[in-house]
DNA sequence: CCGGAATAGTTGCGTACGCATGTATGTTCA
DNA sequence: TGAACATACATGCGTACGCAACTATTCCGG
């Protein structure tokens, strides 16, 4: 591993970090969220793709907070009538989360506005070809990496 | 703006978001931080590049928390002996933040370990050419965009 | 100069979060 | 079968955060 490689890897990471944070900040500032936290929208979005309902553990993979945090998050969303908890018929420990009509409607509204906002922020910075390159590179990074972990005890 | 463009922009954003979050989570889990919060390391890093000291407002651009949050963050770091506040000689309202020796040492230690970790996480996912492409694309996104803001009141 | 607007930073208060732990259910294997 | 372990979720508690309001200094037009 040469010094140059280390430098490049760190430059790439810093650029990735800053660009993502910059866009995220812009998006967050947008007037689109209707009293929804970022993680709350994450839940709505994840569930809009899973009409059968999801368990907390399944959601925990998508939403970037801890499991206890997610539990409370769902609790708040339940109080607001956005989701429902129901006992999992197959597993007495689990509960399935499902969108209410209100939650689904909110997801569609916010999701549509958000998508427009994303489009504006991305296309004003990169053209189609660059967007495609960026998407492909980032997807490459998301592929499961072989367990090349650094020396576990 | 075609449907295809909207789709591409949103796919690129989601990939950018997820890849950055995935790496960030890995890095955070690394045993490198010596009781330092992410934002605290951000402060140390920003200040390591500014030996003359920085004002809170200057830091606020780099660190991704609110200005009041930053004020308290600096307070905690001051209590731990990592930074010092001193009155700005040129502006009675401002204070300059400076690294203590302890803070500078910590920054070097954590920074070096973090850089190794970053290198490992990035190079196991992308090769040199891809890293370079990613860096360049992300830097492009960080360039100041012409004030193509969406209808300010 | 002087008064009002702008800027730099601090503080009160409410909230969402993470960690550690608790409770209940499921799984495994002697 | 039943005891030990694993899994799914909830809760107690401490903490860092954002927003709004505050104080202190500087800037600026008359």
> Is B22 within a domain?
no
Determine the pLDDT at residue A146.
Answer: 57
Interface contact B141-A23, CB threshold 8 A: yes
Cα separation, B62 vs B113, in Å, equals 21
Determine the pLDDT at residue A153.
Answer: 33
Listed in order, strand segments (DSSP E) in chain B are 54-55, 83-87, 95-99
> Is B7 within a domain?
no
> Is B108 within a domain?
yes
Q: Are B42 and B64 in contact (CB under 8 A)?
A: yes
DSSP-derived letter for residue A97 is E
**Mutation target among A21, A42, A141 for the B interface, most CBs of B within 10 A:** A141
> Is B24 within a domain?
no
On whether any CB of chain B is under 8 Å from the CB of A112, the answer is no
Domain tally for chain A?
1
Determine the pLDDT at residue B147.
Answer: 47
Where in the sequence is the domain holding A88, given as residue range(s)?
30-125
> Is B16 within a domain?
no
Cα separation, B23 vs A140, in Å, equals 13
- Chain B nearest-CA distance from A124, in A, is 7
Determine the pLDDT at residue B146.
Answer: 56
- The CATH number of the domain holding residue B80 is 1.10.10.10
> Is B37 within a domain?
yes
Residues from chain A that touch B63, judged by Cβ atoms under 8 A, are none
DSSP codes joined into one string, B55-87: EHHHHHHHSSS-HHHHHHHHHHHHHTTSEEEEE
Determine the pLDDT at residue B149.
Answer: 42
Best CA proximity match to B103, nearest among B28, B31, B47: B47
On whether any CB of chain A is under 8 Å from the CB of B138, the answer is yes
Mean local confidence (pLDDT), A83-91:
90
Q: Which tens digits make up the pLDDT trace of A15-24?
A: 999 999 999 9
Burial (CB < 10 A; 0-12, 13-18, 19+), residue B22, is middle
Indicate the length of chain B as a whole number: 153
Best CA proximity match to A44, nearest among A65, A68, A73, A24: A73
Percent of chain A with pLDDT over 90: 73
DSSP codes joined into one string, A79-95: HTTSEEEEE-TT-TT-E
Q: Which tens digits make up the pLDDT trace of B138-147?
A: 999 998 765 4
> Is A139 within a domain?
no
Q: Which tens digits make up the pLDDT trace of B1-49?
A: 789 899 999 999 999 999 999 999 999 988 899 999 999 999 999 999 9
Q: Which tens digits make up the pLDDT trace of B69-123?
A: 999 999 999 999 999 999 998 899 999 999 999 999 999 999 999 999 999 999 9
Mean local confidence (pLDDT), B145-150:
50
> Is A98 within a domain?
yes
């Amino acid at each position: 591993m040469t010094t140059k490689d280390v430098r490049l890897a760190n430059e790439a990471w810093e650029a990735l970090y800053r660009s993502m944070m910059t866009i995220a900040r812009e998006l967050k500032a947008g007037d689109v969220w209707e009293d929804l936290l970022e993680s709350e929208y994450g839940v709505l979005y994840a569930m809009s793709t899973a009409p059968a309902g999801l368990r907390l553990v399944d959601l925990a993979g998508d939403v970037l907070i801890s499991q206890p945090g997610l539990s409370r998050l769902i609790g708040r969303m339940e109080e607001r009538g956005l989701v429902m908890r129901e006992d999992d018929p197959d597993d007495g420990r689990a509960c399935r989360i499902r969108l209410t009509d209100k939650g689904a409607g909110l997801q569609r509204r916010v999701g549509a506005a958000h998508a427009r906002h994303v489009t504006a922020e991305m296309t004003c910075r990169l053209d189609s070809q660059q967007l495609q390159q960026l998407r492909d590179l980032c997807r490459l990074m998301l592929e499961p990496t072989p367990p090349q972990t650094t020396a576990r005890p």
